[in-house]
Amino acid sequence: MTSLLRLIALGMALTLTACAPPQKSGTATDHAKTTPSARYDGLKMLARQVPPERDAIRDPHRYDRAIRITEIRGLKYYFYRPGRQPAAVGFSVLNDGSPKINPAGLKSKRGARREYTFLFADRARENIYLAINDDVKQSGRFSHDNMFREMHFFPRRQLPSLHVDDSRGLLRAILPTGEPVVFDRHTMEVVDGALIEGPIDLNKSRHKRRNPEVRYQGDFIAITVAQRGEAPRRAKVWGQNKFAEIHYPAKYPERRCKLSPRYIWDQRPKPGDSDPTLRMLHKTDDALFAVIEKRCGWDLSELKSDMPTLAASTD
């Protein structure tokens, strides 16, 4: 139960917003320079393509965020207030009914849902990822109905961004690699870019139901983990060993490498913890690539020329 609560806090639910120490002068930022009476324009800030503001997530900011709904149905963003200045730390796109991907959602207001949530806590390079949740709304039980997939993209060159193209009716999200993922603004289906998606699986058997059918077709590295009703990064769930899939379609289009998540995320609880935090083990993209080369037998030399560092400090 502890792990379920952590998953809710990390991926798909509201967490409390909190104040934090002000940033140091000279730190790169896209914070809105607001006054107490001004309204923060989250969509304007999300449209900017900027590098991470720091490498590691500071502990006081690790889970701080609040949610704001936008005027676009199904689109919301996450923000927090370091130094009393609001700053975006994520956004999500919700498909609660569409012709190709979610026809069941069109039949009922309480039908199936697919949500893409792009998260970048503390605007740091550490733990930038895309969380995808298919909620089939069949049993009313969280652990039975919610199918999760996480996607981690490398190299992490920028924070995810989002641009609203009103003239064409599109939402253009940009991955950490700089690649686009384009959503139809009205259906919230993926229509172009580095990701492709299949319909929500509505199999009544939770054991046979597939996790979100979303695949990477870009030029870089994607690591994906999936699980029903539980943290996808776990190496073992309900007594079964789990695997992470590594994708490099530009060079190895027909090959998928499977690794235990224990080679990627720390699975060990710290003293006093009842549950591991599942943080990435590797402080640089280059260190992670070395593990992939060793375990998968792949040549990643083309991707290793400019790998940013995940600093050990929390500054």
**In this structure, what token pair is assigned to residue 136?**
């089939």
Amino acid of residue 162: L
Does some domain include residue 79?
yes
Say what the pLDDT of residue 159 is. 97
Strand segments (E) across 21-112:
66-69, 75-82, 87-95
For the CA atoms of the chain, what is the radius of gyration? 19
Say what the pLDDT of residue 102 is. 97
Distances in whole angstroms, Cα of residue 135 to Cα of each of 1, 3, 4, 110, 203? 19, 18, 15, 10, 12
| Greatest extent of the chain over all pairs of C-alpha atoms, in Å | 57
pLDDT in tens, 162-221: 999 999 999 999 999 999 999 999 999 999 999 999 999 999 999 999 999 999 999 999
Residue 239, pLDDT above cutoff 50: yes
Say what the pLDDT of residue 41 is. 86
Residue 133, pLDDT above cutoff 60: yes
Q: Which of 4, 138, 141, 8 is nearest to 63 (CA)?
A: 8
Q: How many domains, in total, are found in the chain?
A: 1
Residue 16, pLDDT above cutoff 50: no
Does some domain include residue 86?
yes
Does some domain include residue 309?
no
pLDDT in tens, 27-45: 334 443 434 435 778 899 9
**For residues 10-20, average pLDDT:** 37
Which residues touch 266 (CB under 8 Å, ≥6 apart)? 276, 277, 278, 279, 280, 281
Does some domain include residue 270?
no
- Give the Cα-Cα-Cα angle 21, 122, 212 (nearest 5 degrees): 155
More confident residue, 6 or 247: 247
Strand segments (E) across 1-65:
19-20
Amino acid of residue 303: L
Does some domain include residue 284?
no
Does some domain include residue 68?
yes
Does some domain include residue 113?
yes
User: Domain span at residue 140?
Assistant: 2-20+40-261
| Highest mean pLDDT, choosing among 21-30, 62-71, 259-268, 296-305 | 259-268
Torsion sign (Cα): 56, 156, 132, 79:
positive
Beta bridge partners of 225: 150
Rounded to whole angstroms, how far apart are CA atoms 280 and 265? 4
Say what the pLDDT of residue 37 is. 37
Rounded to whole angstroms, how far apart are CA atoms 114 and 174? 19
For the ranges 2-11, 87-96, 131-140, 285-294, the lowest mean pLDDT is seen at 2-11
pTM of the model: 0.85
**For residues 137-151, average pLDDT:** 91
Does some domain include residue 276?
no
Mean predicted lDDT score pLDDT of the chain? 86
The enclosing H or E element of 293 equals helix 285-296
